[in-house]
Structure 1
């Protein structure tokens, strides 16, 4: 039993014990749920992030590293040259010509399928077996390989192909050389790409049309709006998300065009009449073996695509309407 001693204040204290004043309690945070959520996210997201890092980010980093050198597997040693390759691009007539060709091709491929796809979608926005079959017909080219499409159209647009034979039968003495004439070759290739991408635009616009509330169309019709007025005031503003998707997809697809050019014209006719930047990248890197310069060209193309896409997204998203 502890001894009690008297204190001057007349209170009793227990000998051998020290009295502590109660202090503020520490609040312990529970980290269990947060760690569980992090582990759950890592379990689902890690595979996708790993694949993206290995097959997208890592090649970009390696290409950027090569772009700062004069890498050539058949002409060692490899030396660091800094931004020399990028300065050479600004003075390279071949690259500037490819940039002009790519820009023209991209403008055609972005505008033509968008306009025609919207018109076709408006015509097919009806119920019935016939319209369902027509939707399949317009989407069929999208499931074909670009190489197959290129070979088919090369035969159709040949000098003695079916198209020129039909024109001769109609009385045209000298039909155009669609793929061998520098004045027609680029526009012919752009038309082929537009033809294949038309089905994609039709499907996206059809999805947008079917998502427009019928009540809005009926209300505008009751107010006395005609068909064109309903399209301009109701349908077209609500199709802004579909326009954004189509424009961005077509923009990226057209700017990295290579397979059509390789199969149809091989960069000709003439010197670089249809040669795009992507075509020049592979020609310079694998045929001429100038890996460093080709990598700089690829990085420049990546920057141009990223900037152009960002600007397009900013402009197009500004006119989207939330339902």
Structure 2
């Protein structure tokens, strides 16, 4: 009589939850260890040298803090209300905006043109790239001193103009020209940065696209307008944001070349007025309020510009 063996399915044996926990804990400890080694030092430096000064400035801006005239009293928003009635602050804001427009437009336009000319191979073009980048690595004070000598009333530029029969121009002594002269000087120093960024963008343009456009009958201008320029959108974003922030915090050039003059604040920027208010007039609570307002303006402007330009990158 045949016997039939009944086969029963084996029950699945699951590992106890306690055996999986040590592995998770080890991975967690490993991640925390990597963060402590690589992430925590950077965050600590950022907190000490960025967040802490910003928070202290906000706190002092709500007081009448003056280290030479204690006691310090809480004044609330009084400093902020006074700011928008302060003609010196409003004039400095106007000057800063004008300087920012010049510093954003001039190096971008000139840098793009020079980058297109230098987008070729050969030692000659490599040498010119280095020449244009040299001013970027120079100290702002050195650049300011050199240009002060060149644009003085009896400087080299006016002497050269005299040789061709042109009367001397008060590049730095004429209130109607001084700000524009400063804008050109700062734009000249930042020109090399824009050239390098645009060159990197030009060299990343696929040659196949340009070749296809050429086969379709597109000329150099059409190829640049419809192929190259759209692909330079990331380079334009980088240059614009960097130049915007650089212009708003401009101090060295103004202090060395004009000191805020000639005249009454014709070239005084926000940074210059803030430092003069805080360390010359010793009104550090009021100066902190100015600095907080400038921080808000720069952060807002940079965010808006970055959002608009990045949206353009996506659309292209």
Name the TM-score, length of structure 2 as normaliser.
Answer: 0.92
Q: By how many angstroms is 1:48 displaced?
A: 1.0
Contact 1:109 1:250 in 2 (8 A): yes
Matches within 5 A, 1:75-94: 75-94=69-88
1:26 and 1:160 map into 2 onto residues whose CA distance is 86
Give the match for residue 203 of structure 1: 196
Q: By how many angstroms is 1:321 displaced?
A: 5.0
Task: State the structure with more CA Rg.
Answer: 1
1:89 and 1:179 map into 2 onto residues whose CA distance is 29
Contact 1:240 1:321 in 2 (8 A): no
The alignment covers a number of residue pairs equal to: 299
Give the match for residue 12 of structure 2: none
After the TM superposition, which of the residue ranges 70-79 and 104-113 deviates more from structure 2?
A: 70-79
RMSD value over aligned CA atoms?
Answer: 1.5
2:114 alignment partner, one of 93, 97, 120: 120
Give the match for residue 50 of structure 1: 44
Q: By how many angstroms is 1:223 displaced?
A: 0.9
Matches within 5 A, 1:180-199: 180-199=173-192
Give the match for residue 163 of structure 2: 169
Give the match for residue 256 of structure 2: 263
Give the match for residue 15 of structure 1: none
Gaps of 5+ in 1: 1-24
2:40 and 2:132 map into 1 onto residues whose CA distance is 38
2:49 and 2:175 map into 1 onto residues whose CA distance is 37
Q: By how many angstroms is 1:73 displaced?
A: 1.2
Point out 4+ residue stretches in structure 1 off by more than 2 angstroms: 25-31
Determine if the alignment matches structure 1 residue 217 to structure 2 residue 199. Answer: no
Give the match for residue 233 of structure 1: 226
1:166 and 1:26 map into 2 onto residues whose CA distance is 86
Name the TM-score, length of structure 1 as normaliser.
Answer: 0.90
Q: Deviations over 1:203-246 (max 9, x none)?
A: 00000101111111001111111111111111001000000000
Determine if the alignment matches structure 1 residue 279 to structure 2 residue 269. Answer: no
Give the match for residue 124 of structure 2: 130
1:171 and 1:291 map into 2 onto residues whose CA distance is 51
Contact 1:237 1:321 in 2 (8 A): no
1:63 and 1:164 map into 2 onto residues whose CA distance is 45
